[in-house]
């Protein structure tokens, strides 16, 4: 295609490219050409808010092609989606676009790709938002590249706004990048999930002096058949209903879960029922050995009935014939819910959308909301440590500040993005120590999150059209009539309720599943001290837990025993004994005696349970470990350095330690350091191998 000037842009030329890419019958959808024209002809700043499947990527592919034909430089696409290039490379090839990507998966190619971009050999450069903060990129590449940029695209632009459902602090770096672009550089933001609050926030941050146009289309989807259960359901109820639905629905789909433990549990139950369902979450390869890319392809090819997935399977996944999306738990907001159900029904006439609220949803979402931002006290502690000690590594900060590593990562990221601190030579230093993040905004966002949770709860009980409710919550005024397809409009009654026998079967599955194992701590925290460093000479054996603390069933019994009855019930003793007998069949040298982790706050709780468990297993019980120092509760210690320091010299040995393998019993396993320190103490006094057992694993496993 010959080069042209901006004023010579024609819809006919763009239509020619479109048909070359998609076939002779291809036509622009309403709004697509208008978006392309605004970028290529007017060099505008534009925010496109269109439902999933509308074709937002087509807009920036086509605009890139036309701008390059006019002699413009490459398009920079900032996206959090590593899967984007996999899914859309074919479309770029059809347009003759030359892509390049710089992200966490191709470190060895960074220099080459950036050199090609500077040489004009790349048409569309895909960057992760983290790359914008890289010292080398900021100092060496960006000063030259920004003068050449033909267009900047911010994919999933709602991530800029902390009002958005998927706010990412690294996206705030984009604001600085936009401000450094040459005047007249077109900027495009795209998202499928933004209400007016998010739109105005994005427009304020990257709209520039000339303002930002907004192209917004209707969000209601004619293909989606919505159904929501009005009351929270127990875990066994939902498992049975899932089995019924998947055996009834044609095609393949996604079951969204809030935690990785639920992904595993749901997939396990449905496999038990004869359905080909696999778990999918951020670290799935480490747990199951299956790569996320392979699991995505199996779903794309309809080789699995469903993936039981966390939010890790979300933005960027494109399967036009996805036949159903079922939520095993309630999402935290309408915006997040719409984003996830938007995966379904893009290329088919009807897709089933079912929402199953769980009894545990409230607790999980409160945890997510309260941990979304670090507390001001935590931020102040980090700033104070840097002011007192000068530049510190992340490890040294953990030694001085009692925060979790995940919270510290958030603190450092916020402080770095807000230019309070800077990172250099693997250390952080204060550069503007009087500056602070906007704490008041964090409080407002947290309050808004709770309001969004209440809005999601109200969706469950609305008597009107479910699609109209979603559209109104997203500030979409186009849904003026009821959809006629949702359960409320069509008058569809609830699904057939599970029988008592089915509920009992699901309950037995939950309680008689595989043991939850946990790896032992094998070395002291890195450079903890001169005397405690390196690996343990002989670490604990792999530990076993009966349940997740937040599970219904055994988890409920653990909570009741610890906080209400003051004694763990016999059912937990019997279940633990049965679990351990099965687990020990694979051991060459199982435990020959048992002891307990002591506590001064609950002196009889764990020893009483451990002694009864030992009796059920036919093992002698010895109370040989004692707590000799009062310390803060271990659960208040937030990182390995604080956790170990809190345990040192807190325990002693008060009896004869047998020189045989020992079962070490506690009620909870969280960080694993209590087991590590007590196990090391037992071995120092002559015990054999230490086999940890806990009633429950603590913590929400997400991703």
Interval 91-125: pLDDT, tens: 677 778 898 888 766 778 888 888 998 999 999 99
Count CB-CB contacts under 10 A for residue 632.
Answer: 10
Q: Are 566 and 690 found together in one domain?
A: yes
The Cα-based distances of 620 to 105, 592, 615, 658 in angstroms read: 52, 8, 7, 10
The predicted-structure confidence for 415-445, as pLDDT tens digits, reads as follows 988 889 988 888 999 998 888 888 998 999 8
Asked if pLDDT for residue 78 goes beyond 80, the answer is yes
| CA atoms lying within 13 Å on the CB side of residue 54 | 25
Q: Are 384 and 491 found together in one domain?
A: no
In a domain, 452, yes or no: no
Domain boundary (199, 216, 233) is at: 216
* Separation CA 664–CA 598 (nearest Å): 11
For the ranges 74-88, 244-258, 380-394, the lowest mean pLDDT is seen at 74-88
Evaluate the CA torsion angle 653, 654, 658, 660 in order and state its sign.
negative
Domain boundary (508, 533, 565) is at: 508
Q: Are 426 and 473 found together in one domain?
A: no
> Domain range for residue 672?
515-697
Q: Are 303 and 320 found together in one domain?
A: yes
What is the domain count for the chain? 4
Return the structure tokens found at 91.
């479309």
Helix, strand and coil in the chain, % to nearest 5: 45, 15, 40
8 or 326: whose pLDDT is higher?
Answer: 326
103 or 573: whose pLDDT is higher?
Answer: 573
354-377 average pLDDT score:
91
Residue 683 phi/psi, 5-degree rounding, is -65, -35
Asked if pLDDT for residue 172 goes beyond 90, the answer is no
Q: Are 281 and 414 found together in one domain?
A: no
| pLDDT more than 90, % of the chain | 55
Asked if pLDDT for residue 18 goes beyond 90, the answer is no
| CATH of residue 664 | 3.40.50
Q: What is the pLDDT of residue 136?
A: 84
Q: Are 484 and 519 found together in one domain?
A: no
From 198, 195, 80, select the one nearest 130 (Cα to Cα): 80
Q: Are 413 and 314 found together in one domain?
A: no
Q: Are 175 and 301 found together in one domain?
A: no
Kindly give the pairing relationship between strand 45-49 and strand 187-191. parallel
pLDDT band at 2 (very low <50, low <70, confident <90, very high): very low
In a domain, 458, yes or no: no
Q: What is the pLDDT of residue 658?
A: 95
| CATH of residue 416 | 1.10.10.10
pLDDT band at 316 (very low <50, low <70, confident <90, very high): low
| pLDDT more than 70, % of the chain | 94
The predicted-structure confidence for 659-673, as pLDDT tens digits, reads as follows 999 999 999 999 999
Q: Dmax of the chain from CA atoms?
A: 92
Measured torsion, CA atoms of residues 398, 403, 409, 413, in degrees rounded to the nearest 10: -100
In a domain, 365, yes or no: no
Domain boundary (187, 216, 245) is at: 216
Q: Are 528 and 620 found together in one domain?
A: yes
Q: Are 72 and 212 found together in one domain?
A: yes
For the ranges 84-93, 226-235, 514-523, the lowest mean pLDDT is seen at 84-93
Q: What is the pLDDT of residue 19?
A: 85
Q: What is the pLDDT of residue 557?
A: 92
Return the structure tokens found at 409.
């990562």
In a domain, 47, yes or no: yes
Q: Are 164 and 286 found together in one domain?
A: no
Asked if pLDDT for residue 6 goes beyond 70, the answer is no
In a domain, 109, yes or no: yes
The predicted-structure confidence for 407-416, as pLDDT tens digits, reads as follows 999 899 889 8
Count CB-CB contacts under 10 A for residue 482.
Answer: 15
In a domain, 1, yes or no: no
The predicted-structure confidence for 133-163, as pLDDT tens digits, reads as follows 787 888 889 999 999 999 999 988 888 887 7
Kindly give the pairing relationship between strand 543-548 and strand 427-430. unpaired
Asked if pLDDT for residue 81 goes beyond 90, the answer is no
Helices 235-248 and 260-272 meet at what angle, rounded to 10? 60
Asked if pLDDT for residue 56 goes beyond 80, the answer is yes
Which pTM does this prediction carry?
Answer: 0.84
From 331, 312, 309, 349, select the one nearest 221 (Cα to Cα): 349
Q: What is the mean pLDDT of the chain?
A: 88
Q: What is the pLDDT of residue 88?
A: 63
> At a CB cut-off of 8 Å and minimum separation 6, what does 43 contact?
6, 184, 185, 186
Q: What is the pLDDT of residue 4?
A: 38
In a domain, 43, yes or no: yes
Q: What is the pLDDT of residue 166?
A: 65
Q: Judge residue 460's burial from the number of C-beta atoms within 10 Å of its C-beta, 0-12 exposed, 13-18 middle, 19 or more buried.
A: middle
From 488, 496, 494, 437, select the one nearest 465 (Cα to Cα): 488
* Rg, Å, the chain Cα set: 28
Q: Are 541 and 644 found together in one domain?
A: yes
Residue 241, SS3? helix
Q: What is the pLDDT of residue 108?
A: 81
Query: Which residue is associated with the tokens 């359905």?
Result: 275
Kindly give the pairing relationship between strand 427-430 and strand 421-424. antiparallel
In a domain, 454, yes or no: no
Kindly give the pairing relationship between strand 324-327 and strand 427-430. unpaired
| CATH of residue 249 | 3.40.50.300
Q: What is the pLDDT of residue 355?
A: 96
């Amino acid at each position: 295609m010959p080069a042209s000037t901006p004023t010579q842009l024609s819809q006919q030329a763009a239509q020619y490219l479109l048909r070359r890419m998609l076939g002779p019958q291809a036509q622009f959808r309403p709004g697509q050409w208008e978006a392309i024209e605004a970028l290529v002809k007017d060099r505008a700043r534009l925010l496109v808010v269109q439902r999933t499947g509308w074709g937002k990527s087509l807009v920036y592919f086509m605009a890139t092609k036309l701008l390059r034909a006019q002699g413009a430089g490459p398009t920079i696409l900032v996206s959090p989606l590593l899967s984007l290039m996999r899914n859309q490379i074919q479309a770029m090839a059809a347009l003759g676009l030359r892509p390049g990507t710089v992200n966490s998966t191709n470190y060895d190619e960074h220099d080459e790709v950036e050199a090609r971009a500077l040489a004009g050999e790349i048409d569309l450069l895909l960057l992760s938002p983290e790359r914008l903060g890289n010292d080398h990129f900021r100092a060496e590449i960006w000063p030259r590249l920004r003068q050449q940029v033909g267009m900047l695209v911010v994919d999933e632009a709602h991530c800029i706004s902390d009002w958005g459902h998927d706010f990412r602090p690294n996206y705030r770096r984009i604001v600085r990048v936009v401000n450094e672009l040459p005047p007249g550089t077109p900027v495009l933001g795209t998202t499928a999930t933004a209400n007016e609050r998010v739109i105005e926030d994005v427009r304020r941050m990257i709209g520039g002096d000339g303002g930002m146009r907004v192209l917004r289309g209707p969000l209601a989807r004619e293909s989606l058949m919505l159904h929501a259960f009005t009351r929270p359901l127990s875990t066994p109820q939902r498992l049975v209903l899932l089995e019924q639905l998947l055996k009834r629905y044609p095609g393949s789909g996604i079951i969204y879960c809030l935690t990785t433990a639920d992904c595993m549990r749901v997939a396990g139950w449905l496999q038990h029922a004869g359905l080909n369902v696999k778990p999918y979450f951020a670290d799935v390869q480490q747990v199951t050995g299956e790569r996320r890319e392979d699991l995505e392809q199996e779903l794309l090819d309809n080789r699995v009935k469903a993936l039981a997935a966390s939010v890790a399977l979300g933005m960027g996944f494109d399967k036009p014939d996805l036949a159903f999306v079922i939520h095993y738990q309630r999402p935290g907001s309408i915006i997040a819910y719409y984003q996830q159900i938007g995966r379904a029904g893009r290329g088919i006439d009807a897709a089933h959308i079912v929402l199953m609220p769980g009894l545990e949803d409230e607790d999980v979402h409160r945890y997510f909301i309260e941990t979304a931002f670090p507390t001001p006290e935590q931020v102040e502690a980090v700033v104070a440590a840097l002011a007192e000690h000068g530049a510190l590594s992340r490890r040294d900060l953990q030694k001085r500040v009692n925060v979790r590593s995940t919270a510290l990562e958030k603190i450092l990221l916020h402080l770095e993005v807000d230019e309070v601190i800077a990172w250099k030579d693997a250390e952080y230093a204060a550069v503007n120590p009087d500056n602070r993040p906007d704490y008041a905004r964090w409080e407002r966002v947290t309050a808004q999150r709770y309001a969004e949770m209440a809005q999601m709860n109200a969706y469950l009980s609305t008597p009107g059209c479910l699609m109209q409710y979603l559209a109104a919550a997203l500030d979409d005024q186009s849904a003026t009539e009821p959809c006629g397809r949702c359960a409320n409009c069509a008058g569809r009654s609830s699904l057939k309720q599970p029988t008592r026998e089915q509920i009992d079967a699901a309950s037995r599955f939950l309680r008689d599943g595989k043991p939850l194992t946990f790896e032992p701590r094998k070395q002291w925290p890195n450079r903890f001290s001169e005397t405690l460093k390196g690996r343990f000479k002989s670490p604990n054996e792999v530990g076993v837990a009966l349940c997740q603390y937040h599970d219904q069933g055994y988890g409920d019994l653990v909570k009741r025993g610890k906080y209400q009855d003051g004694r763990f019930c016999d059912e937990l003793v019997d279940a633990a004994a049965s679990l351990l007998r099965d687990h020990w069949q694979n051991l060459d040298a199982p435990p020959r005696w048992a002891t307990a982790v002591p506590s001064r706050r609950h002196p009889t709780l764990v020893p009483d349970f451990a002694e009864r468990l030992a009796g059920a297993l036919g093992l002698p019980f010895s109370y040989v470990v004692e707590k000799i120092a009062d310390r803060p509760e271990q659960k208040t210690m937030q990182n390995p350095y604080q956790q170990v320091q809190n345990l040192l010299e807190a325990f002693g040995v008060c009896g004869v330690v047998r020189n045989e393998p020992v079962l070490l019993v506690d009620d909870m396993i969280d960080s694993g350091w209590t087991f590590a320190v007590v196990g090391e103490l037992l071995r120092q006094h002559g015990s054999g191998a230490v086999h940890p057992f806990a009633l429950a694993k603590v913590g929400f496993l997400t991703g």
